[in-house]
Amino acid sequence: MKNVISTDKAPAAIGPYSQAIEVNGTVYTSGIIPVVPATGEIPEGSVAQAQQAFENLSNLLEAAGTGMDKVVKTTVFIKEMNDFAAINEVYAKFFPSPFPSRSCVEVARLPKDVMLEIEAIAVK
C-alpha cells in the first residue's frame, strides 16, 4: 500500500505527482527544487539554492517520519557541472557519514530554471 507524504515545509507539487510516497517503510521523494515554501522565491546562486533544496528535502523527510541520516540513495541534477564542488560542500553538511550512494548529472534545464534538483530514497 502506498502512503502519500506531503508538507507545506517543502515546495508543493507543480504537476500530477506527490511530494513523496512511502511503501513498506521506504520513502521515495520526487525531485525537490530550491523554492522557499513560504514565499515561492528562489534564492540566487548555486550554493544558496543547494542549501534551500537540501532544507526542503530534510523537511519532507521529517514529515515522512525519517531523516537525512536514513537516506540511502540520492540523485542530484545540476544545471552546471562547474558548480559540482560547491554543491558537494553543501551536500556534505546535510548528510552524515556514511554518505548515501549518489548519482549526479548535468542537465540542460530544470523546473523554474533552478540550478539543481534532488531526489532521495530513505528508509524509516
Task: Check residue 4 and give its pLDDT.
Answer: 98
Q: Per-residue pLDDT for the chain (124 aa), expressed as one digit of tens each?
A: 999 999 999 999 989 999 999 999 999 999 999 999 999 999 999 999 999 999 999 999 999 999 999 999 999 999 999 999 999 999 999 999 999 999 999 999 999 999 999 999 999 9
d(CA 84, CA 86) in angstroms, rounded, equals 6
Task: Check residue 91 and give its pLDDT.
Answer: 97
Given a contact cutoff of 8 angstroms between Cβ atoms, the answer to whether 20 and 11 are in contact is: no
**Catalytic residue, candidates 63, 86, 104, 121:** 104
Task: Check residue 71 and give its pLDDT.
Answer: 98
Task: Check residue 14 and give its pLDDT.
Answer: 86
Given a contact cutoff of 8 angstroms between Cβ atoms, the answer to whether 43 and 49 are in contact is: yes
Q: How many domains does the chain have?
A: 1
58 is catalytic: no
Pairing verdict, β 116-123 and 26-29: antiparallel
Question: Across the strands, what pairs with 21?
Answer: 4, 28
Owning domain of residue 108? 2-123
pTM summary value: 0.97
Residues 6+ apart with CB under 8 A from 59: 7, 9, 10, 37
Q: The domain that contains 35 carries what CATH number? A: 3.30.1330.40
